[in-house]
Amino acid sequence: MEWYEVGLGLLGLLMLLIAIGLPIPFALAAASLPFLWQIQSFQTSLVSSQLKLWGVWIDYILLAVPLFVFLGELIGKSSIGPNLYQFLHQGVRIRGSAAYGSIGACAGFGAVCGSSMVGALTIGGVALPEMLRLGYGKRLSAGVLAAGGTLSVLIPPSLILLFYGIVTDQSIGDLFIAGVIPGLVLVTAFVLVVLVWGILRPQDIPDSEDAMRMPLMQILATVGPILLIGLVITVAIYAGIATPTEAAAVAALLTVALAFGVGGLTWQGFKEAIFATMRTMGYLGLLLSAGVLFGFVLTYYRVPQQFTELFLSFDLSPYVVLMIVLAFYIVLGMFLEPVSMTFITLPTIYPLMSAAGFDLIWFGVVYTITMEIAVLTPPVGLNLYVIQGIGRGQVTIGDVIMGCLPFIGALVALIALLILLPETALWLPDQMR
C-alpha cells in the first residue's frame, strides 16, 4: 500500500470510530489493526499489540506520569490547594483580589501539578463559589478559573511537555525549563486581562470584598508545602541530582507527608487520591499503548517521512508551515483533548517542524500553549465543562466560553511573542546547559 493510502485510511477510520462513540484509546487501536494485518499475521499482530501495551507500562520515563498525577490529587484532596487560593485572595487587599488570587493560585498549583483539569477542579472548586458570593461577574469568574487551570500545563512539571518529550525524544528537563519564562509571561498576561476587564466592565468586580486575613501559622502551612515541593522538583531535575521520574517519586513521597502533616489529609482522602490516580492512569495507559501501536504503523509505512517530503516540496516559508500546523491544531482541539492529539498527530508533525528548521524544544512550548487553547475551545474543551460543573447551575457553558475569550487572546499573543522572540523559551535552557 502507498503511504498516502495508509495515512488517509488511518485518519478516516479513526474519525469514523470516534464519531460512532468508541473511546479514543480503543479507536486508535482498532484503526491500526487492519493496516497492521497487512504486514503481520493475525497471531503475530496480537503479540505485537501485547508487547506495545506491556512496553508502555514498564517504561521508566513514563513512571513520572502517575507520580505527578498522584501528587496533584493529594494536594487537591488535602487543604493545601484550596488554602493557597484563600491565602492569595485574603492576603492582597486590592480591588479584584479574588480574581488575581485565582490566577496566582493556579500558577502555584501548576508548579507542583502537571494537569490542567486537576488544577481547574482544585482551585475552581473553592474559588468559583467564593467569587460569585462576593459579587464578581459570572463570565469573569468562570473565565479566569477555566483559563487559570491551563497554567498547570505550561508551568513545569507539565504532563503535556512530558508526553511531547517522550514522542519527540527531546530532553524532559530542557522542555520543563523552557516553559518557565513563557509561563510567567502568561501569568502576567492573565493579570492584565483581569485589569482591563475591570476597567471596561467595572460592574463585574466588586469595590470591596468581605474576607478575613489568614493566621500566620495557616499561611506557613499553605505556602510552605507548595514552595518545598516545587523546589524539590526544580532543584532535583535542573541540578542533575535526579531524573524527572526520580524527582516525581521523591516529590510524591514528600507530598504524602505534607498532606497528612499540615494539609489535613484523611485516610479517606488518601484512598480517593489513589483511586483517582488509578482511574486517570487506566485511561492514559490504554491511550499511550494504543498511541504507540498507531505510531508503529505510521512509521512502518513511512507516513511521517513521506508527508514531510511532500509538504516541503511545495517550497513554503517555514512560518507559513508553522501557521498551517497551528491552525490545524486549534481546529482539531475543538474535537479532541490534548493527550489524544499528542499521540495521534505528533509522530507525523514533529519531523515536519524539524525539517522546516524549528527548534523542537521551542516548538514544544508553542505546541503546549496551543494545547492550552484546545482545552478552552468548544465543543470538547475539558476545562469549560469542569468549571460549568463546579458552578452547579449558577454558571452556564455560554458564560464559561464567553469568559474565556479574552484569555484565549492572551494565549495567542504569547504564541506571537514566542515567534517574534524565540529566546523567550530558549534562553533559560541555554543558560542551564
- Those residues whose C-beta lies under 8 Å from the C-beta of residue 370, and which sit 6 or more positions away, are 326, 329, 330, 333, 415
CA distance 186 to 183: 5
23 is a domain residue = no
pLDDT at 214: 64
Evaluate whether residue 95 is within a structural domain.
Answer: yes
Q: Cell for 304?
A: 511521517
Give 338-405 as a DSSP string: HHHHHHHHHHHHHHHHHHTT--HHHHHHHHHHHHHHHTTSTTS-HHHHHHHHHHTTSS-HHHHHHHHH
Q: Which pLDDT belongs to residue 407?
A: 94
For residue 265, is it left (φ>0), alpha (ψ between -120 and 50) or beta?
Answer: beta
pTM higher than the cut 0.95: no
pLDDT at res. 367: 95
8 Å CB contact between 219 and 87: yes
Backbone dihedral angles phi then psi of residue 330, each to the nearest 5 degrees: -65, -40
Residue 271 counted as domain residue: yes
Q: What are the pLDDT tens digits along the chain (433 aa)?
A: 788 888 888 888 988 998 888 888 888 888 888 888 888 787 887 787 777 777 767 777 778 888 888 888 888 788 887 777 777 766 556 778 888 888 888 888 777 776 777 777 778 877 888 888 888 899 999 999 888 888 888 888 888 898 899 889 898 889 989 999 999 999 999 999 999 999 999 898 887 666 566 666 766 777 788 888 888 888 888 777 888 889 889 999 999 999 898 888 899 999 999 998 888 888 877 888 888 888 888 888 888 888 888 887 888 889 999 999 999 888 888 877 788 888 888 888 999 999 989 999 999 999 999 988 888 887 767 788 888 888 777 888 888 899 999 999 999 999 999 999 999 999 988 887 6
Question: How many structural domains is the chain composed of?
Answer: 1
Instruction: Give the three cell numbers for residue 188.
Output: 502576567
Give domain status of residue 12, yes or no. Answer: no
Q: Decide if 333 contacts 374 (C-beta within 8 A).
A: yes
Q: How many CB atoms lie within 10 A of CB 1?
A: 10
At 346, list the grid cell.
505528533
User: Do the domain assignments include residue 3?
Assistant: no
Cell numbers for 356: 522546516
Domain that holds residue 323: 47-432
Residue 20 lies in a domain: no
Is residue 418 a contact partner of residue 366, using CB atoms and an 8 Å limit? yes
